[in-house]
Structure formats: structure tokens, C-alpha cells
């Protein structure tokens, strides 16, 4: 009798012990979500690394169940090749999320693109990365807004590595008066300084070594904080070119306006050194508060 019962209940026992709920449809998601009060939310595109996991450490401090999503958002890629070769590792991602006390992983399918409110990002989105990736931030805000409306989180954590993205989402959320606390979490780096990124897996070991030049360049700018001038920025740009990078931008910007700014001038905000550069077809970005 006991034997038969345990056999019957075995699948249920497994479900009880696997804490991470993995949900693929909106209908199932709404059912699960309704069992929770306030939650923290961490959206990702998967191929998780320690940079992503650090967002969970930030979220854990908020003491709310953590919900995450993995969705490679086609709307934010303006290069089809970049989209199709975006690295994927769902099985490993799920294992990592289980180790992070993640309560629920939402894996939306393409139906998330139905009945979309298309968001037009403000003019700040045309600077820096936006000037090299037209429409990128419209795509980011459109999907983040949709995910927010599904998740209804009280907090959402984003990496400061993607500083322009973080700022645009924060300001979008404020402008819509969304009751969501947008939290920026510090950039996690490899030992050589290279900011962790899913795209790093597309680099050879030599390229990985070389990619640390981006961080070294940011440090060089920061170390010259007291005498920043156009020549220093030009020097950094040229030196990156010589090392084989195709540079999209090397800029020192104001953290609020995102406009180029080489000194504080009693402005509000901070100075941020920001670089986007390509090694072959792999585009890397990083920044450092000065
Ligand atoms: P992604 O999967 O690339 O869309 O990134 C999901 C989130 O992880 C975004 O908020 C990123 O800013 C953040 N993130 C990615 N890499 C890092 C990193 N090295 N350090 C901190 N946050 C990161």
C-alpha cells in the first residue's frame, strides 16, 4: 500500500522539490503570479554568467520572491546575424537559476509580440549605442514594458554595464508612473577587467585577452579625470584602433543627460567614461563612473 502510494505521488514529490517554476505560456504565468504578492524581477536574454547572477544577489537583499525571464528580443537587434548567432544555453541557465533561489522563470514564446504597444524611446536613445543601433532602444523599451505589464514587479534589477539601457528604462518607468523600483547593479568583470557578457563566448582566447583593452582604456580615462580633454579621448580611440578594434565610440558623458561632457561644470550627475567597440563581428560595451 505504502509502496503504491509513493509511486503514485512520486511525480508530485519531484515537483515539490524542484523549486524553480518554469513557465512558457501567459495563461500559466498569470495563474502562478496570482499566488504571489510583491516580487522582484530580473529580465535576461539567457546564456547566463556571473554578471547576471550578481543581479540576483542584488535582488535577494530586497527579500521578495525573484522572478526572471529569458527571451532573446528580436526587436532590439538591428543586425539579423547578431540575432541568429546570439549564444543560447537554456539547460545550463536553468541549473544556474535553481542555484540562485529564483522562484519562477518565464520563457515567453513569440506570442509575446502580439498586441504590442510599440514604444518610441526618447531622444537620449539616439546617443551612444543608439546612434550605432537605430531602433535598438525602441525594441528594448517595447519588450521591457510588455514584460513589466505581465510580471507586475515591485522591483526590477538591471546591470549598470548597459548604463544607457538602465537609464532609459528608469526614466521610462518614471514617465509612465509605473510602481516599479528600477535598481542598477554594478558591473561584474573577468580577472583581466573585461566586463562579463554573453557575447564574450563568441570570442577566441586571444580576442578575450585583447578585449580587456576596453576596460584598460576606461581606467586610463578615469586616471586622467583631472585633465580630461579631447586629445586624451582621441588617444584612447586611436590606441584601440591600433589594437584591432573597430570603435563605435569613446566618450565621456554626463550620467543624466548622456551628452558629452569633459568636466562637471557644476552639472547634476556624474561623469561616465563609455566605450563601444567591435572585435570582428562581436560588439562589446563597457563604462566606468569617473
Ligand atoms: P542580457 O542577458 O545581456 O540582456 O542582460 C540581462 C541583464 O544582465 C541586463 O540588465 C544587463 O545589464 C545585466 N548584465 C549583463 N552583463 C553584466 C555584467 N557583466 N555585470 C552586471 N550586469 C550585467
DSSP string covering 36-97: -SS-EEEEE-S---HHHHHHHHHHHTTTS-EEEEE---GGG-S-HHHHHT----HHHHHHHH
For ligand 1, the distance from its centroid to the CA atom of residue 38, given in whole angstroms, is 23
Q: How far is CA 87 from CA 7, 171, 224, 236, in A?
A: 39, 29, 36, 30
Which strands, in side-by-side order, build the sheet including 246-254?
246-254, 271-279, 282-289
Atom number of ligand 1 nearest to Cα 52:
8
| Residues tagged active-site | 52
Q: Is 12 helix (H, G, I), strand (E, B) or coil?
A: helix
The domains found in the chain, sorted by start residue, are 20-185 (3.40.50.620), 198-289 (3.30.1300.10)
Q: Which residues line ligand 1 (CB under 6 A)?
A: 44-45, 51-52, 54-55, 158-159, 161-162, 185, 187-188, 195-198
Distance CA 7, CA 26 (A): 31
The tens place of each residue's pLDDT in the chain, 290 residues long, gives: 555 555 565 544 444 455 899 999 999 999 999 999 999 999 999 999 999 999 999 999 999 999 999 999 999 998 898 899 999 999 999 999 999 989 999 999 999 999 999 999 999 999 999 999 999 999 999 999 999 999 999 999 999 999 999 999 999 999 999 999 999 999 999 999 999 999 999 999 999 999 999 999 999 999 999 989 999 999 999 999 999 999 999 999 999 999 999 887 767 899 999 999 999 999 999 999 99
Shortest-distance Cα residue to atom 6 of ligand 1: 44
Nearest CA to ligand 1 atom 13: 159
DSSP-based three-state secondary structure for 251? strand
Tell me how far the alpha carbon of residue 230 lies from the centroid of ligand 1, in angstroms: 30
Atom in ligand 1 nearest the alpha carbon of residue 159:
12
Amino acid at each position: 500500500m505504502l509502496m503504491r502510494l509513493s509511486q503514485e505521488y512520486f511525480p508530485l514529490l519531484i515537483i515539490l522539490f524542484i523549486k524553480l517554476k518554469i513557465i512558457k505560456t501567459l495563461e500559466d504565468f498569470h495563474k502562478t503570479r496570482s499566488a504571489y504578492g510583491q516580487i522582484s524581477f530580473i529580465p535576461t536574454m539567457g546564456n547566463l554568467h556571473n554578471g547576471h547572477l550578481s543581479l540576483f544577489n542584488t535582488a535577494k537583499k530586497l527579500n521578495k520572491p525573484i522572478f526572471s525571464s529569458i527571451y532573446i528580443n528580436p526587436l532590439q537587434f538591428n543586425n539579423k546575424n547578431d540575432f541568429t548567432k546570439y549564444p543560447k544555453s537554456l539547460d545550463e541557465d536553468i541549473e544556474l537559476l535553481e542555484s540562485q533561489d529564483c522562484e519562477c522563470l518565464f520563457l515567453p514564446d513569440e506570442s509575446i509580440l502580439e498586441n504590442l504597444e510599440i514604444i518610441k524611446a526618447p531622444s537620449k536613445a539616439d546617443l551612444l549605442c543608439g546612434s550605432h543601433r537605430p531602433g535598438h532602444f525602441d525594441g528594448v523599451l517595447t519588450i521591457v514594458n510588455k514584460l513589466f505589464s505581465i510580471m507586475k514587479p515591485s522591483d526590477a534589477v538591471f546591470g549598470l554595464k548597459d548604463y544607457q539601457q538602465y537609464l532609459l528604462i528608469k526614466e521610462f518607468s518614471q514617465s509612465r508612473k509605473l510602481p516599479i523600483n528600477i535598481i542598477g547593479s554594478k558591473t561584474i568583470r573577468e580577472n583581466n577587467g573585461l566586463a562579463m557578457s554573453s557575447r564574450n563566448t563568441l570570442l577566441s582566447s586571444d580576442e578575450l585577452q585583447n578585449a580587456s583593452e576596453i576596460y584598460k582604456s576606461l581606467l586610463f580615462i578615469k586616471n586622467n579625470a583631472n585633465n580630461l580633454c579631447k586629445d586624451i579621448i582621441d588617444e584612447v580611440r586611436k590606441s584601440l584602433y591600433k589594437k584591432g578594434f573597430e570603435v563605435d565610440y569613446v566618450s565621456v558623458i554626463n550620467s543624466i543627460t548622456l551628452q558629452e561632457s569633459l568636466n562637471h561644470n557644476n552639472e547634476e550627475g556624474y561623469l561616465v567614461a563609455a566605450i563601444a567597440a567591435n572585435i570582428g563581428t562581436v560588439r562589446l560595451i563597457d563604462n566606468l563612473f569617473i
